[in-house]
Structures are given as structure tokens and as C-alpha cells.
Amino acid sequence: MTDLPLSAMLGALFVLLILSGIFSGSETAMMAANRYRLRHAAQNGHRGAKLTLALLGQTDKLLGLILLGNTLFNAAAATLTGYIALALFGDSKYALEIGTLCITFALLVVAEISPKVICATHADRLAPILSYVLTPLLRLAYPIIWFVNLFVTALLKAIRLAPGSMHEETKLSPEELRSLVLESAHLMPKKHHAILSSLFELNSITVEDVMTPRGHIEILDLDQPWEDVRAQLTTSHHSRLPVCRESLDQLIGILPVRRLLASLGDPDFDEAGLLEQLQSPYYIAPGTPVFSQLAFFQENRQRIGFVVDEYGEILGLLTLEDIIEEFVGDFTTTVPGLGHELGWSPAGDAIVEGARALRDLNRTLGLDFPTDGPKTLNGLILEHFQDIPESGTSIKLAGIAVEILQTQDRSVVTVRLFRPDAT
């Protein structure tokens, strides 16, 4: 070896370092590649992605091949460096020390750090390319790798690790999947991201969080004069109305208002004709997750239901549109007076109705009102005071300054909220 020209040895050393760097970078690229992106590319017919997934499906053999190549080229480079040092410095006692320092520096820069940084930065692009090289090499070196892995498997079993677990499909929990969606906000339209994020919350919220409270349900009272009934049917903006006598405690059924549009102009149309169109009410148990209720609506072919407590008292009204709006966003106005868009004024305040849902306020205004108790702002204020507050009273709830503007009967009608960073 010492008979070779110095230039040839230096050239061979450079080649060995490059080959070592390829194997070192391959390890980083294969391990850092996004498997979901690779799987998508493979489903679209990308051959490199298919080869990469096949290699990642046998991680122990893949790592055996990469480390085998990396170790062989590193050892060869170290040996060649010794010959180069002898050629340059002869029998000097410092030859080996200098050679060791030089090869260590070269291995770190050329064969380890640089290729790993490059492959980590462009892992998704380089992994499919490198798989074209690694796949045939794995077939050629399979007997050696198989033999080495016999000892690896024995060692893993000795320390009670199951080698088969390396081939199992990586599964994400719902929380991890939600984090993945949140971190991918820049890769999708804002509206799509908002919908996907909301879908993960459907199992953590209940029907009470999205229902229309009992006090805001529009009812059709058959005990009122018939002329008033007809007038209400003509002007109602709802497609379905709960029909009762006097109050919701005497609920009769649900009326699809559209079915009566042709009959409203008929002078012979009476209460009996109205009662023939009624549908039986559908009841929902409190605490039902919203996502489960969406499935129940589909199974029972229902679009509207009443949330009732353990005593059978109606707590509120839930529609299919309420659930859809929870993850799609508002696209209709179901409660008169609650249809205007929420937002902070230039002065940093917002006037809202007491009947606004706390979840709606948190989502729209970026607040942090607690939602594990009362569901509306009015309920939260009444729980705090244990009484009906007077107009002009100011308090702080969850670090948010709140000023009561108007109260009526037993509820808070309007409130002014102050943005936390503006107070």
C-alpha cells in the first residue's frame, strides 16, 4: 500500500469518505422521511416511494445494511489514513497521532455531520432516490446482514425487547393526530384547517354545549287565538316549530312549517289540519357527546330533538344544523338577535348578548371562559353573583373585564366585554 503514489491514496481516501457519507446520510433520510407523504406518493404510483416503504418495513435489515457499509468504509478510511501518515512523516512518533486527528476531523465533517444535515433537511426528496441504491445492495448483502442480525436478535431477547415490534405500523392517538393537523395549518386553506380542528372536539363536547336553551326556543302555542297562530306560521323564519299548549311542558309535536305553506291561504284550514301534520318529538339524553348525537340523528332519520333532564323537563332544542355549524361555522341564524357577527371594536371592547354560548365567545373572540359549568355568558354571570346583577355592574371573569349593560326579569340581556390585552 505504501508503494502507491500519495495522490492515489488521497483520492482513494476522499472516495471512501464520500461513500461513508452516503451511507450515513441514508440512515438519516430514511428515518426522517414522512411516512404519510411517502404512502400518499406510493398510492399515486411513485416507485421510489414504494421502495422506501418496503425498506422501512424491515427496519432491522435496513439499518444493518447502512451501518455495515458505513462501518466498512470508515474502517477502510482510517486504515488508509495511517498509510498516508507514514508516507508523509515516515517513522515519526507523531505520525499516528496526526493521522488519527486528521481522519477524525474528516469523518466528522465529510462523512457524518454534512451528509446528515443535508439528508435531514431534504429527507422526503432524498429517501426515494436513495432507496434505488439501498434496495439492490440489501439483496446482495442479505446473507451477511442475516448472520449479523442473529446476534442482534439474541441480544434484544436477552434484554427483553421484542424485535418484531420494529415492523409494526406506527399508530397515532387522536390527540397526536390533532396536533399533526394543527401543525399543518400552513399547508391547507384556513377554512379547511378550522373544520378539521373542530371535528376533533366533537367527542369532547356535549349536546348542552350547542343546543338552543329553553328560554330561546320559539314555540307555536295552540292556546292562543287561531288568527295569531296563522300569523306566526306566516312570519316564522324557522322550518320546524315545536307545537304545544301554553308551554313546552305540554309539548304535542314538531310541525314542518313548509308543509303548510299552501294551506295557510285556505280559509278552511284549522287546528285539526295542523295537528295532522305533526311529527312525534325526539328526545335526547343530557351529556350525550355531539359526535354520537350526529350518528343518532342519522340512524333515526331525525333533524331536531329536545334535550331533557332526568325528570323529563326540556332543557333545550338541538338541530342537525346546530351540530354542523359547530365544525363548519355559522351559515344560518336560528335565534333572533344573535345573528350579528362578533368582533372586537377598535377600542378593544365588544357588546354581546347574555344568551351567547361561552364556546362561541371563546372561539370567535379568542377568550378563555370556563365551559365545564354554565353554557352561556348569562349563566356564568348569574353563577358568579348568585343573584341578578344591576345594570352598570362590572366584574372580572376568567381574567376578562365584564360590564353588565342591561338586565331584564331573571337574566342578563347585554354585556360589554373588554379584550384582555386592552385593559
Domains along the chain?
6-167 (no CATH), 207-328 (3.10.580.10), 349-422 (3.30.465.10)
Half-sphere exposure of 320 (CA within 13 A, CB side): 14
pTM: 0.55
Count the neighbouring beta carbons within 10 Å of the beta carbon of residue 232: 16
| Per-block mean pLDDT, blocks of 10 residues, the chain (423 long) | 72 89 91 86 89 88 90 88 77 72 85 90 91 92 87 82 56 66 66 69 80 86 88 84 90 87 77 87 90 88 90 90 77 48 82 84 84 83 84 86 85 87 64
H/E stretch holding 65 = helix 59-89
Sign of CA dihedral 366, 369, 375, 378: negative
Please give the DSSP secondary-structure letter assigned to residue 113. I
Residues in contact with 314: Cβ distance below 8 Å, sequence separation at least 6, in sequence order: 214, 248, 249, 251, 306, 307, 308
- Cα separations in angstroms, 94 against 80, 90, 97, 103: 16, 10, 5, 14
Identify how many contiguous H helices and E strands the chain contains and give both numbers: 17, 11
SS3 239: coil
Q: How far apart are the first and last CA of the chain?
A: 80
* DSSP H helices in 366-404: 377-385
CA distance 77 to 17: 7
CA distance 399 to 381: 13
Q: Which of 30, 9, 13, 33 is nearest to 111 (CA)?
A: 13
H/E stretch holding 198 = helix 190-199
Q: Given strand 400-408, what is the order of strands in its sheet?
A: 349-353, 411-418, 400-408, 394-397
CA distance 389 to 382: 8
Phi, psi dihedral angles at 252 (to 5 degrees): -100, -45
pLDDT of res. 305: 93
pLDDT of res. 336: 46
- Hey, what's the cell of 121? 433537511
Are the C-beta atoms of residues 138 and 148 closer than 8 Å to each other?
A: no
Please give the DSSP secondary-structure letter assigned to residue 341. P
pLDDT of res. 412: 85
Q: Which of 71, 85, 70, 72 is nearest to 10 (CA)?
A: 85
Q: How many whole angstroms from its chain centre is CA 351? A: 31
